[in-house]
Amino acid sequence: MAGVTERAGDTAGKAATIRDVAACAGTSIATVSYVLNNKSRYLRPELRERVLAAAQELGYVKNAAARSLKGLQRGILAVLVPQFGNNFFTRMCVEIEAVAQRAGFVVTICNSDENPVQERAIIERLLSQRIDGCILSPALSRTESAALLERARVPYVILERTMGTAVPDHDFVGHDNFQSGYIAAQALLDAGHRRIAFLGWDSPIANINDREQGYRAALAEAGVAIEPGWVLTGSLSEDEGRRLADRLPVGQVTAAVLATHHTMAKGVLMSLQDRGLRWPQDLSLVLIGTPEWVDLVRPGLACVERPEREMGHAAAALLLEKLKRPDYRQAKLVLPTRFIPGGSIRPIKIPETSGANA
């Protein structure tokens, strides 16, 4: 945890201060402060000019840290995600950064790597930096970090991973995981598939479970009973995806799989290729997520798109709103997902059981 050396390098700390500017412009620091902050106070234009010139000449940059001591905003927002290398999160970060940038904030992005211990250390460090606000996507959906922020009274919004009722009344932006599981399964059912496996990953986060519930609901509605061995999980890795691919009902008509993470899906696809199997002939497939390669693999990949951009935008906008109005609360924002058709679903002649259970 330690490591930050005590002394700043000799190089730092020589930045021009407001006092230098005042001296250089032959006025007082108060005046400089007023000029530099465009405060409503009438000053001789000539003086104003002189101050500006002096600041320019000295390369003066105001010290946000000092400013914050007086209880003003620091201009730093933090984003803490559990999988920084995952495009899904990256896309949200890009959007958050853009919004924050426009509002004059700088964004500190941290990666907990799904590790609650690391997450805690990071939160503590952020708190010590007196960040103005935080967007948090908790590792493993733990609630401790939120509690820490709550206690420090730092405005925050939870992104993507709900904490349910464990932390009452928190602001949340996410997408509809139940729906994504549901429409993915639905797409396979509509095409006539009946043996549909669900490929999850070992994680205590509710999202995966919600997707599974959506999947279960869709199958139940279609009158399809889920058989043992259809719901598969494993650690989150390409290799695990490859291994689990062996357990899929490959080659059987109406066989399909619903993958819930692109890393797992990639493993499955590579396994199929290695074994000389083809999709959708030997196995139909739908993925929840839109990695860069969805439109590159042939014959295409049906998938469920989550509104990453919108989520990032909404989370950032919400946080900014909360900074303006500390008492602002908004109902949880759960954005819809969208099914994108693709060649990985094999249309099957429906065996006369369609429109059944009536």
Among residues 252, 249, 211, 264, which one has the least CA distance to residue 86? 264
Place of tokens 């905003």: 73
Q: Does 99 bind DNA (CB under 7 A)?
A: no
Q: Does 2 bind its own copies (CB under 8 A)?
A: yes
Out of 17, 73, 209, 237, name the contact with DNA by CB under 7 A: 17
- Cβ closer to its own copies: 106 or 356? 106
Q: Does 6 bind DNA (CB under 7 A)?
A: yes
Q: Does 152 bind DNA (CB under 7 A)?
A: no
Q: Does 62 bind DNA (CB under 7 A)?
A: yes
Rounding to the nearest 10 degrees, give the CA dihedral for residues 344, 300, 218, 200: 90
> Which residues have CB under 8 Å from 73's CB, separation 6+?
132, 323
Using DSSP's 3-state secondary structure scheme, residue 197 falls into strand
Structure-token pair, residue 34: 């007023």
Out of 33, 118, 209, 233, name the contact with its own copies by CB under 8 A: 118
Q: Does 93 bind its own copies (CB under 8 A)?
A: yes
Among residues 215, 206, 180, which one has the least CA distance to residue 306? 180
Residue 18 interacting partner from its own copies, DNA, none (CB closer than 5 to 8 Å by kind): DNA
- Cβ closer to DNA: 62 or 243? 62
Among residues 227, 228, 262, 246, which one has the least CA distance to residue 85? 262
**Site residues for its own copies, window 227-286 (CB under 8 A)?**
266, 269-270, 273
- Cβ closer to its own copies: 53 or 66? 66
Q: Please tell me the distance from the alpha carbon of residue 22 to that of residue 35, in angstroms, as a whole number.
A: 11
Q: Nearest distance from residue 321's CB to its own copies, in Å?
A: 11
Q: Does 18 bind DNA (CB under 7 A)?
A: yes
Q: How many CB atoms lie within 10 A of CB 261?
A: 24
Return the bridge partners of 53, or none: none
Positions that interact with DNA (CB under 7 A): 6, 13, 15, 17-19, 27-31, 33-34, 36-37, 39, 41-44, 47, 60, 62-63, 66-67, 69-72
